[in-house]
Chains A and B, each alone.
Chain A
Amino acid sequence: MSSESESGEFHLSRRALFQTVFVGSIAGGALQPVAAQATSEHAGVARCTASQVQTDYGIFAPESLVLSLQDFSLSGSITNNTDRGWRWVSFLLRMRDQNGQPIQHDDRFDGFVYLKDIARGETKPVVSVDGKQPGLLLRPLMRPASFDIRFIPERSYFDSRSVFSLIHPAVSNDLAYQDDVLKIAFTVTQRELRFRLTNRASGPLVID
């Protein structure tokens, strides 16, 4: 968890640091974990007031997004009206009270919902980071009357495909080359470069 260096300074492990921040944020902000407090409020929902969420690539359209005020789970779906398919889209909830004032919430790790593998024009339910029904981990400081969602570009990833060509030793759109010694064909993926090499010489080849 923690250790003391020769200089007398304490160093926290990342887990210990997270726990410290987590507990500190709950205590400091008077936020309660959702599961730790039985609700006595009458059941109700807060509805998403945003009909469009703007991005640089077009809009996402929330449909019937509601936040349960009983267990603070979130349900509903979002249509991808952007110009592309996405592997992962992140949104952050912004809650408001009945006067329309923003409710402060610890959004360092709470209040995020996601869409996974959504094509252009497709509608999908929002999910948590592990693909389950999303919800708040911490009870809001005030009873939310409504909310909207904001697109988080730095946590969102879209699909794309690169087109490659071999330009040396010969030009080939198929990424293939052959001479008297070898025949080779490349495949480029996000993670690595692959090739199939065939020995066209009359004797063995040694590839270093």
Chain B
Amino acid sequence: MVGEKDLIARIKKSLIAKAEKDPSWTLFLGKEQLSATDLLKRLDKDKGLRKMVIESSFSLAIEMWNNEGRNNIESHSGTP
């Protein structure tokens, strides 16, 4: 079963690819300015940020499933 470690590993892989493909990519987090490489390092050190990214990833996944449900209802609705 896929767990949090797998998710973080996948996110890091994505950030490594982003750092190579788009070196100008930046995350502005308040007054902080983080490149993909900076964010990669922050995810190791900052437990709060890591937790937020994991929770938001799950939350996005749930929203995707909700959307599928909504889309199915919409596509099957209408006048007979």
Partners in one complex: no
Binding site for A on B (CB under 8 A): none
Question: Chain A interface (Cβ within 8 Å of chain B)?
Answer: none
